[in-house]
């Protein structure tokens, strides 16, 4: 079995969970921030929605020159969900074309021509496309709680939803 197949299966499983979280994002609160230094709900939600496709595009190259990051904000729930569906499709398309040699090839992140880190592409996929994505999805679930929006089950029961009951 190609190495990428397990990543694609995980992506499908986690996309279903992420979809449930994103569907709960209240459109009326997209500009809300829990703190002045935090992203707005609309920024964080769009970041969660687009990470898989954006990171897949980045790792499809041999290296990425990092630049200053600025996150747009979703303007509506429909925009958010369309961006999410597009990003999942984009990630599956890009990753699905990678054979074992491509997945194990060295990938690097640079800034101003200096290497920040270099590692096998599969490690970057795991670290940034998946783990980074889950991290921000967790932040988004906290935003939902702070806005008194019922939090869906993610890996087990939440205070609002129990898939095992």
In a domain, 57, yes or no: yes
CA–CA gap between residue 115 and residue 7 (Å, rounded): 26
Model pLDDT for residues 22-51, shown as the tens digit of each residue: 999 999 999 999 999 999 999 999 999 999
In a domain, 158, yes or no: no
CA–CA gap between residue 39 and residue 165 (Å, rounded): 35
Model confidence at 73, pLDDT cuts 50, 70, 90, reads: very high
Model confidence at 85, pLDDT cuts 50, 70, 90, reads: very high
In a domain, 54, yes or no: yes
Owning domain of residue 125: 3-146
* Contact partners, residue 85, CB within 8 Å, separation at least 6: none
In a domain, 130, yes or no: yes
pLDDT at residue 107 tops 90: yes
In a domain, 156, yes or no: no
Count the domains in the chain: 1
- Kindly report the CATH number assigned to the domain that includes residue 12: 1.20.120.450
CA–CA gap between residue 10 and residue 116 (Å, rounded): 27
């Amino acid at each position: 079995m190609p190495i990428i197949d397990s990543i694609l299966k995980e992506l499908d499983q986690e996309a279903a969970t992420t979809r449930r979280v994103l569907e709960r994002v209240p459109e009326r609160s997209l500009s809300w921030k829990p703190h002045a230094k935090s992203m707005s709900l609309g920024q964080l939600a769009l970041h969660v929605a687009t990470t898989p496709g954006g990171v897949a595009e980045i790792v499809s190259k041999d290296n990425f020159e990092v630049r200053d990051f600025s996150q747009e904000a979703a303007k509506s729930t429909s925009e958010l969900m369309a961006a999410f569906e597009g990003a999942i499709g984009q990630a599956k398309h890009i990753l699905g074309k990678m054979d074992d040699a491509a997945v194990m090839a060295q990938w690097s992140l640079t800034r101003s021509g200096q290497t920040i880190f270099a590692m096998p592409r599969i490690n970057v996929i795991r670290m940034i496309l998946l783990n980074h994505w889950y991290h921000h999805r967790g932040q988004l679930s906290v935003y939902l709680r702070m806005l008194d929006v019922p939090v869906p089950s993610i890996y087990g029961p939440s205070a609002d939803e129990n898939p095992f009951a």
